[in-house]
Amino acid sequence: MLAQRTRLFEMSGTAAARAAAKAADAGKEIVDLTAGEIWSELAPAIREGAIDAINKGVNRYTDTIGMMELREALARMVSIETGQRWRADEIAVTSGAKQALFNVVMTLINPGDQVIIPAPYWASFPAQVQIAGGTPVHLDTRGNGYVPRIDDIERVITPLTRAIVVNTPGNPSGAVYDAATLAAIARLAIERKLWIIFDECYGSFTYNGHEHHPIVSLVPEVRAWTVIVNAFSKSLALTGWRIGYLAAPKELISAVKALQSHTTSNPNVVAQHAVLRHLDEGDGAFEAGLRGQLTTARQTGLTVLSGLQRVQVPKAQGGFYFYLDLSSLLRPTPGDSHAKTADDIVAALLREAGVAGVSGNAFGDPMGLRLSYGIPPEQLKAGLGRLVGVLNAWD
C-alpha cells in the first residue's frame, strides 16, 4: 500500500529507545541515559533574542536558507573556526543538522552512488543515503578505536564511491579523529574525487587533550570537496529549536536552496533571530558553562564506570556519550543467529536496574551500548552505579 521507499527506513533506533524508556517510566523511576541532548537552561542571549523577535511581531517567511544577517554571522563564525574566509553564499541555514545532511545527500548522491560510512554510525547517515537512492558502505572501525584506518577506506573505494562521512567527535563512539588521520582522509578525497560530509555537531565537546580539527583547516584544498554540517542543537543545548547549517561550495548551496524551497522553506524565524542574537552578543560564558558541566559529568561517570570488572572503561574523547564494548560479556560466535547482542543487555538493564541505554544495534554494532551523560549528576551517578552492578553480574 505504501511506497517501496518506506522499506528503506524505520524509526530511528535512538528515538525507539527513548520511547521504550518513557513507556517503562510509567511503572517505576527510570534513569534515562538515551538522550542525544544536554540537560541545560537556555542561553541568555537566545532567550532574549527570541522574546524580542516575538515582541516585535516577527511572523513572515525569511529567505529560504536563512536571513542574510544570520548567514553573514555564521560565515564569520566558520571563518574563525577554520582560519579561512567564508562568505554568506557558502552558508545555508537548515532545520537542524538533520535537514542539512538530508539536503546534502539529496543534492550530491545519484542513484547507485556509494557513500562510505564508518561504523558504528549515527543511524540517519545510512537511512538518508538510501532514501536518496545511494548505497551505504559500512566500514568497521571497532578494531581501531572507532576511527577508520586509511588503508581500510582505500580498500572499500570503488568507481561508484561518491562520498565519505566523517563524524568527529563521533556519535555514538565519542571518538575524536586526530589531525593526521583527518589530513590523510582529506588528501585521499582530493586524489579520488570524493566528497567529505563533515559532521562536526559535537565539535565543541572534547576532553583530556583531544582537540577537534575542522578538516578544511588542515588541508585547505579539500574545501572544494567538503560539506561542513553543524548545528546549535548540541553546542548550545538547543535540540528543540531546530537550527543547523551547512558550509559548502556555493554551487552546492544554490542547489540546497532550490531543494529546501520545495520542502520546508526557511527554518523557524524566531529561532533564527535568537541564534543571531547569540552570535552577535554571546560572550562565550554559556558555552564554557556547558563544557564545564559535561566535563564534570564525564568525570563523575568515568569514576563510577571504573567499577566495571569485565567491560573496558570507555575513552569518551568527545561529545557526551559513553560507548561500551560489550563483546567480553556477549562472547559473539560467528554464524550463531541466536547469540545474544546488546539488545539483550539493554532489555536486562531496563528490567533489572531501571536504566535505559541505546543498543549498539541502532548504530550497526551489535556489541555496543551508548549511554548519554548529558543528564543531571545525581541521576547519572545512580543510573551508572546500577548499570555497573548488572554488567558485573552478567552471566
- Positions in the binding site for ligand PLP (CB under 6 A): 36, 96-98, 122, 167, 171, 199, 201, 231, 233, 239, 244
Residue nearer to ligand PLP on the CB measure, 244 or 383: 244
Cell matching residue 340: 545474544
Cα torsion at 123, 124, 128, 129 (round to 10°)?
-40
| CA separation for the pair 29, 11 (Å, rounded) | 25
- Under 8 Å CB-to-CB from 60, ≥6 apart: which residues? 269
Amino acid found at 229: V
CA distances in angstroms from 366 to 40, 296, 358, 390, listed in the order given: 31, 29, 11, 18
Residue nearer to ligand PLP on the CB measure, 90 or 199: 199
| CA separation for the pair 90, 104 (Å, rounded) | 13
Q: Which of 266, 227, 259 is nearest to 243 (CA)?
A: 266
Nearest distance from C-beta of residue 172 to ligand PLP, angstroms: 8
According to DSSP, the residues that pair with 140 across neighbouring strands are 119
Element spanning 91, H or E? strand 91-94
What sign results for the dihedral spanned by CA atoms 115, 116, 120, 122?
negative
Residue nearer to ligand PLP on the CB measure, 78 or 329: 78
Residue nearer to ligand PLP on the CB measure, 75 or 231: 231
Q: Which residue has the cell 542574510?
A: 68
Residue nearer to ligand PLP on the CB measure, 231 or 274: 231
Tally Cβ neighbours within 10 Å of residue 268.
Answer: 15
- Is the CB of residue 392 less than 8 Å from the CB of residue 307? yes
Nearest distance from C-beta of residue 392 to ligand PLP, angstroms: 29
φ/ψ of residue 283, rounded to 5? -105, 10
Nearest distance from C-beta of residue 370 to ligand PLP, angstroms: 10
Nearest distance from C-beta of residue 215 to ligand PLP, angstroms: 15
Nearest distance from C-beta of residue 2 to ligand PLP, angstroms: 25
Residue nearer to ligand PLP on the CB measure, 122 or 146: 122
Residue nearer to ligand PLP on the CB measure, 244 or 301: 244
φ/ψ of residue 266, rounded to 5? -70, 155
- Under 8 Å CB-to-CB from 119, ≥6 apart: which residues? 138, 139, 140, 141, 142, 363, 364, 365
For residue 204, the 8-state DSSP code is: T
Nearest distance from C-beta of residue 115 to ligand PLP, angstroms: 15
Residue nearer to ligand PLP on the CB measure, 202 or 286: 202
Cell matching residue 124: 540517519
Residue nearer to ligand PLP on the CB measure, 36 or 49: 36
Nearest distance from C-beta of residue 271 to ligand PLP, angstroms: 11
Nearest distance from C-beta of residue 11 to ligand PLP, angstroms: 14
Q: Considering only CA atoms, give the Rg of the chain.
A: 21
Nearest distance from C-beta of residue 101 to ligand PLP, angstroms: 6
